[in-house]
């Protein structure tokens, strides 16, 4: 909008829009457009944005409002453009955040090996959730900041990249996200949906898979609330013309055995060498398989899972990961050494100064390991950040030495903690020790394999 008159007219209507939403009204497409334009052009005060966010938090939004909000946020900045021959194969995934969630590091190169283009725009860790970018930055030389031209080049030569959000992509989301954090409106489902899907829409994807987690260590505490969020996300993605599916997966413990930046990179590399834990492989093959179905590269999920699994176990995904590391700034000798069998990872990645092993308190069966407790203690030891922009210590982490359902004897080590400064306090040690539950539950012994995936939406992709 040009001209002072229009601007002042816009400013006058902002309180009306806030009142309308506060009183439970439905905002029209034009009203949502005017609000996002005012956010983008900074013709609206932060206090007014905060009031609108709270009105949305209190009253929710109907499907048409979420669709309009998502579209306007996406259009507030640059929308990526790709060569015509790529258009059916542009894919990405998003996870709502978990503990030990290293799926992206394995999935992106596996998809590239299967013929997809993966412009994965990822985030940093905040609170107890680890960020994909922080994990990759524990590899010396890895550059997550890449220009649009560099992204195009890397996708052309490698097929996948994992990068941070550029300044020009969805600027309205940056403003709203920062204000949601300080106005107590982070957990509004319409605001979560529009934030996630607008960023993916700006990547001009043909297919998107969402990993919506539920459980103690997830944002959604139960399957019901996760299903509500997943349905909203799928609808918003489809509303932008992206074929969208969601995987609902349990998040009480951790994914794999490693939690923390460097140790998760090591586990990802081991997975790409064919030694991955079952739970991580289940998530990688399910999400990757769905994307192959949605792009038409395979006819059903079981064939998709098979192709992703073969790319990981057969070494094709490892080659793509090595090429991606080199394309994103890692010295070729370093990248090659990391991808060699039986390599000494700590000759390249930083190892924490101290290691401490915790011992099982009794004989019995491992019934539970609380992922949230692990993540919270590691966060306080420097593996995470409390405010955006704070540095993280890549060497801090934990490696689980036992699995759910495993029989242990008293005094056997169940966890190896990697830490530096600050040192572990007695309170933190007690908290960590409380994460392990050992008992004599007979049911767990009969459980052959622990699966995380509970449900796939829409159901038509589940077969």
H helix or E strand, kind and range, residue 207 = strand 207-214
SS3 state of residue 352: coil
DSSP state of 361: S
Of the candidates 101, 134, 173, 370, the residue annotated as catalytic is 173
Q: Using CA atoms, how far apart are residues 106 and 127, in angstroms rounded to an integer? A: 23
Of the candidates 71, 93, 94, 128, the residue annotated as catalytic is 94
Under 8 Å between Cβ of 400 and 408: no
Can you give the length of the chain in residues?
Answer: 463
DSSP state of 181: H
DSSP state of 129: B
Whole-Å CA distances, 342 to 110, 214, 313, 314, 395: 21, 35, 16, 16, 20
For residue 301, give every residue at least 6 positions away whose Cβ sits within 8 Å of its Cβ, in sequence order, or none: 286, 289, 290, 293, 456, 461, 462, 463
Of the candidates 93, 180, 200, 305, the residue annotated as catalytic is 180
Q: Using CA atoms, how far apart are residues 338 and 267, in angstroms rounded to an integer? A: 12
Under 8 Å between Cβ of 211 and 83: no
Catalytic status, residue 449: no
Catalytic status, residue 148: no
Burial 34-67 (b: 16+ CB within 10 A, else e): bbbbbbbeebbeeebbbbbbbbbbebebeeebbb
Strand residue runs (E) in 20-123: 91-95, 118-121
Catalytic status, residue 199: yes
Catalytic status, residue 94: yes
Of the candidates 21, 117, 199, 418, the residue annotated as catalytic is 199
Per DSSP, what are the bridge partners of residue 455? 248
Catalytic status, residue 344: no
- The tokens of 342 are what? 């039986």
Q: Using CA atoms, how far apart are residues 385 and 400, in angstroms rounded to an integer? A: 22
Of the candidates 188, 195, 206, 309, the residue annotated as catalytic is 195
Q: Using CA atoms, how far apart are residues 310 and 306, in angstroms rounded to an integer? A: 6
Active site (catalytic) residues: 94, 173, 180, 195, 199
């Amino acid at each position: 909008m040009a001209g002072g008159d229009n601007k002042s007219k816009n400013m006058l209507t902002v309180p009306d829009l806030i009142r309308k939403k506060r009183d439970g009204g439905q905002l029209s497409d034009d009203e949502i457009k005017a609000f996002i334009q005012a956010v983008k052009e900074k013709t609206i005060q932060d206090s007014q944005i905060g009031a609108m966010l709270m009105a949305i938090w209190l009253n929710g939004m109907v499907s048409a409002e979420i669709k309009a909000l998502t579209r306007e946020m996406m259009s507030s900045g640059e929308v990526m453009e790709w060569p015509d021959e790529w258009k059916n194969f542009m894919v990405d995934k998003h996870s709502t955040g978990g503990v030990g969630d290293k799926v992206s590091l394995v999935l992106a190169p596996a998809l590239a090996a299967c013929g997809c283009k993966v412009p994965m725009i990822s985030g940093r860790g905040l609170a107890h959730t680890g960020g994909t970018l922080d994990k990759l930055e524990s590899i010396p030389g890895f550059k997550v900041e890449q220009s649009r031209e560099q992204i195009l080049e890397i996708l052309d030569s490698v097929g996948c990249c994992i990068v941070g959000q550029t300044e020009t992509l969805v600027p309205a989301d940056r403003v709203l996200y920062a204000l949601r954090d300080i106005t107590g409106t982070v957990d509004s489902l319409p605001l979560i949906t529009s934030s996630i899907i607008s960023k993916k829409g700006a990547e001009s994807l043909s297919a998107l898979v969402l990993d919506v987690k539920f459980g103690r260590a997830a944002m959604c505490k139960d399957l019901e609330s996760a299903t509500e969020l997943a349905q909203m996300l799928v609808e918003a993605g489809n509303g932008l013309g992206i074929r969208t599916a969601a995987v609902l997966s349990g998040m009480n413990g951790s994914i794999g055995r490693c939690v923390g930046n460097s140790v998760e990179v090591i586990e990802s590399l081991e997975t790409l060498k064919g030694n991955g834990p079952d739970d991580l492989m289940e998530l990688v093959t399910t999400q990757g398989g769905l994307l192959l179905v949605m792009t038409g590269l395979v006819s059903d999920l079981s064939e998709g899972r098979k192709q992703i699994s073969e790319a990981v176990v057969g070494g094709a995904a490892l080659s793509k990961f090595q090429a991606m590391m080199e394309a994103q700034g890692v010295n070729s000798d370093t990248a090659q050494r990391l991808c060699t069998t039986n390599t000494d990872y700590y000759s390249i990645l930083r190892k924490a100064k101290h290691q401490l092993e915790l011992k099982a308190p009794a004989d019995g069966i491992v019934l539970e390991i609380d992922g949230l407790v692990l993540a919270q203690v590691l966060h306080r030891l420097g593996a995470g950040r409390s405010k955006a922009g704070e540095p993280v210590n890549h060497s801090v982490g934990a490696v689980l030495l036992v699995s759910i359902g495993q029989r242990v004897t008293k005094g056997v080590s169940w966890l190896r903690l990697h830490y530096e400064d600050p040192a572990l306090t007695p309170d933190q040690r007690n908290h960590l020790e409380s994460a392990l539950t050992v008992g004599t539950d007979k049911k767990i012994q009969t459980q052959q394999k622990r699966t995380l995936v509970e449900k796939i939406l829409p159901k038509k992709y589940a077969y």
